[in-house]
Structure 1
Amino acid sequence: MDDTYQVIVVGGGFAGMTAAKELGRKGVSVLLIDSNSYHQFQPLLYQVATSQIGVSAIARPLRSIFRRLSRVRVLTADVATFDAANHTVTTADGDTFRAEILVLAVGAVPNFFNTAGADEYAFPLYSVTDATRLGSKLTQLLDEADGEPAGTVDVVVVGGGPTGVETAGAMAENVKFVVPKFYSPELAARCHVHLVDMIPTVLNAFSTNLQEYTKKRLNKIGVQLHLGVGVSEVRADGVTLADGTVIPSRAVVWAGGLKAGEIFAGSGLTQGRGGRIDVRPDLTAPDVEGVYVLGDAANMTDSTGTKLPQLGSVAQQAGKWAARNIYADLNGGERRPFEYFDKGYMAMIGRGAAVAEIGRKRIPLQGPFAFVSWLLVHLALLSGFQQKVRALFSWLNGYVTHSPAQVVVGRPE
């Protein structure tokens, strides 16, 4: 054993970062371990991939976040295994750490649902690395097509949820506004964006009216919808749909769902839907004591038993609530069931267009007002003043001048 802490938090995403911050403020000794040295704002990864904002707007160094919390130590390392029963974590370097309480906020990995070729050829969008890799690929394809008289760029986005809709909308608007300005109108006419989902609609969690608005808006900006049909195969040169339709594409974006990573195998924790851990109402693991599982790694419910979606706002609130319960554990108090404050759902469709359902009563918004609300909410949620300023400047510059906010360096292959 190398070190002992009161709490070890594995994962620096919304849930893990929030839990560590709250505990550090209460004077609890915390070790925060993440494979990356930064916290990433996942809801805006698609904007990095489509050059609407730069990486520095959504990625903030973890040590910067915790610089004033002396009780929180940040360790950049890959976690190889953990022992839930003994509250130990072992890194890929062989270092082992033990704590009184273990918090697992390890995130998730793309779920390709055993689709042939998807793991090899599709571009997931779950990390900064994913976003920059996809952005590099799109730039490469445009540059190559620009040098060919009949060159085309076809992009297929798989998944009609918020990530898929936002990604397809951003790409289509780049084709409409950016490609004609920085390449040529002729190339723009040869670029196509496709959105595929086996469900016969988009944004399944939203009301029918907002779904219809979203489909009309996507059609208006040039997104070709293939709904009610799944993807049977992904290849280097395109996808084949379940009905036999073949869509040529060298850039297939996978926004089709997430599942828990392999790290839970052999951990001693029973896995539920999507490989996640079905946590108790107080956010603890059901199999052992002193272990909390948060964020995309957990299947969470609120105090009424309602299943909660895999959203950043859920993870953030869960991290804060878990910190309260952990503090109670350490000081002889009682845990309380997680009470989630439902803020609703939002999805950006493009410049001046978004949809939202606000609060528990799901007050519907669409169009420019929802667009402004989306901007303000995401600006407020960004971690760090510098990140907020960079995002705001990029949005103002991009939406007014239709200019890319970042330069993509490197090649994806």
Structure 2
Amino acid sequence: MEQTYQVIVVGAGFAGLTAARKLGRKGVRVLLIDANNYHQFQPLLYQVATSQIGVSAIARPIRSVFRRLRSVRVLTAEVAAVDAANGTVTTLEGDTFQAQVLVIAAGAVPNFFNTPGAEELAFPLYSVTDATRLGARLTQLLDQADRESGGSVDVVVIGGGPTGVETAGAMMENVKYVVSKYFSPELAARCHVHLVDMIPNVMNAFSAKSQEYTKERLEKIGVQLHLGVGVTEVRPDGVALADGAFIPGRVVVWAGGLKAGKIITDSGIPQGKGGRIDVHPDLTAPEFDGVYVLGDAANITDSTGAKLPQLGSVAQQAGKWAAKNIYADLTGGERQPFKYLDKGYMGMIGRGAAVAEIGRQRVQLQGPLAFVAWLLVHLALLSGFQQKVRALFSWLNGYITHSPAQVVVGRPD
């Protein structure tokens, strides 16, 4: 049975959640659809995987966000298809919904670039499920290594961007503090973390100064860097590199990039780089005036025409701006081109170490000051008071006592 709404929002990530909330506050009848019944804070997934914070610190029930906004209906369902031409969304259960305006903010999926073995064997880090699965695997292997004479756990992280750097740094510090303290210094000494990227630098979007600081800090805490060389195959026991080398690793983490998912590729909307949609300045899709595409599903440009990065701050601002334009659509107003407030970049390397390039002028911070700035910004961005409190307590406990914040009870597939 077809049901009609003023606006349908597909995806409850940063962009979709923000757009739905802004529209709901104006009384617009919105249907928000997501496969999960929670909103996840993606920038901290690596901390869930490394037991620095618990799932409840980064996942907030979507219905709790909209409990006072009666014009917004939250539906937990997996979207099977989006028909941009007819403004309809169909779920796997076969239900079809129609809207005056569609908002596609369905996120992205890992891009393995057709690397043999990567999709089957590597652990991506893009969802709560990914994070808990990786954490369970690490726990299983550490327990196994503790039982074995001479046992060890080697981890290979593929991708030298913020996700890869933050993951590698957190895992190495877990070896240094948690494995050494709760298992044995001998086991810790046998565990290694490798970071691989085909680009010769880490944090490629950052300045040369930030890149150099990041590299030096990673090496100082013990991460082994393999830069300027690509991965040709992921195997059960490690990864093969383009220069003929082989890195042993019982866990391979894939932080090598994202691409648009099936909802976008099958929508009928022309695609751009990474399979994402090159949206117009007002955030609408080409050839489909009543369809907005936001977040990791879109290639968004600033006022100069430069493509904006796939960041949470971009997604949130785009969601807010799209809501203004959609309200104008519904009330006879005029759309405005998206104006992005550049807040800069940040990346955590480890305890007391981070890099930050703040604002359009890129004010550069490294070390403890950047570390504090990173904590404060991410604390502010977390959705919900309870999530903020849980994250703050976990950080204080972890950074002061070096104790894990959560117990991993699941088992990997």
Q: TM-score, normalised by structure 1?
A: 0.99
**Mapped partners of 1:272, 1:7: distance in 2:** 25
Match of residue 87 from structure 1: 87
Match of 2:36 in 1: 36
Residue in 2 that maps onto 1:310: 310
Per-residue CA deviations over 1:119-172 (Å, capped at 9, x if unaligned) read 000000000000000000000110000001110100000000000000000000
Coordinate RMSD, CA, aligned: 0.6
- Asked if residue 246 in structure 1 is aligned to residue 246 in structure 2, the reply is yes
Residue in 1 that maps onto 2:208: 208
Is the contact between residue 265 and residue 275 of structure 2 (CA under 8 Å) also seen in structure 1?
A: no
Distance 1:48 1:387 in 2: 13
* Match in the other structure for 2:403: 403
Q: Superposed, which structure 2 residues align to 1:263-274 within 5 Å?
A: 263-274=263-274
What is the aligned partner in structure 1 of residue 338 from structure 2? 338
d(CA) in 1 for partners of 2:154 and 2:267?
42
Partners of 2:134 and 2:293 lie apart in 1 by 30
Rounded Cα–Cα distance in structure 2 between residues aligned with 1:266 and 1:374? 38
Alpha-carbon shift at residue 265 of structure 1 (Å)? 2.9
1:304 deviates by: 2.6
Q: How many aligned residue pairs are there?
A: 413
Distance 1:280 1:378 in 2: 29
Match of 2:284, SS?
Answer: coil
Residue 168 of structure 1 aligns to which amino acid in structure 2?
A: A
Within 5 Å, which residues of 2 pair with 1:119-268?
Answer: 119-268=119-268
Match of 1:110 in 2: 110
Match of residue 6 from structure 1: 6
Distance, in Å, in 2 between the alignment partners of 1:112 and 1:317 is 28
Sequence identity percentage: 81
Q: Which amino acid aligns with 1:354?
A: A
1:179 counterpart letter in structure 2: V
SS of 1:290's equivalent in the other structure is strand
- State the one-letter code of the partner of 1:113: F
Runs of 4+ off more than 6 Å: none
C-alpha distance in 1 between matches for 2:316 and 2:264: 22
Does the Cα contact within 8 Å between 2:40 and 2:58 map onto a contact in 1?
yes
Aligned to 1:379: 379
CA contact (8 A) 1:109 1:260 kept: yes
8 Å Cα contact 1:268-1:287 kept in structure 2: no
For each residue in 1:334-354, what CA deviation from the matched residue of structure 2 results, as whole angstroms up to 9, or x when unmatched? 100000000000000000000
Instruction: Read off the aligned partner of 1:396 and give its amino acid letter.
Output: L
Q: Distance in 1 between matches of 2:206 and 2:214?
A: 10
Mapped partners of 2:35, 2:57: distance in 1: 20
Query: What is the identity, as a one-letter code, of the residue corresponding to 1:347?
Result: G
Deviation of 1:251 (Å):
0.5
Task: Verify the 8 A CA contact 1:302 1:337 in the aligned structure 2.
Answer: no
**Contact 1:238/1:246, CA 8 A, preserved across alignment:** yes
Q: Is the 8 A contact 1:135 1:408 kept in 2?
A: yes
Partner SS state of residue 289, structure 1: strand
CA displacement, residues 344-386 of structure 1 (integer Å, 9 cap, x when unaligned): 0000000000000000000100000000000000000000000
Give CA deviations for 1:17-37 in whole Å, capped at 9, x if unaligned. 000000000110000000000
Tell whether the 8 Å contact from 1:172 to 1:221 is kept in structure 2 after alignment. Answer: yes
Shift of 1:80: 0.2
Q: Does the CA contact (< 8 Å) of 2:40 and 2:59 recur in 1?
A: yes
SS state of the match for residue 288, structure 2?
A: coil
TM-score (ref. length: structure 2): 0.99
Q: Distance in 2 between matches of 1:355 and 1:162?
A: 10
How far, CA to CA, are the matches of 2:395 and 2:18 in structure 1?
26
Q: Is the 8 A contact 1:164 1:195 kept in 2?
A: yes
User: CA offset at residue 320 of structure 1?
Assistant: 0.1
Q: 5+ residue gaps in structure 1? A: none
Whole-Å separation in 2 of the counterparts to 1:357 and 1:111: 27
**Aligned partner of residue 375 in structure 1, secondary structure:** helix
Distance (Å, rounded) in 2 between the aligned partners of 1:321 and 1:147: 55
The 1-side partners of 2:295 and 2:34 are apart by 14
Corresponding residue for residue 390 of structure 1: 390
What residue identity is the alignment partner of 2:89?
V
Gaps of 5+ in 2: none
Would the aligned equivalents of 2:58 and 2:387 in 1 still touch at CA under 8 Å? yes
Tell whether the 8 Å contact from 2:10 to 2:32 is kept in structure 1 after alignment.
yes
2: CA distance, partners of 1:311 / 1:362: 16
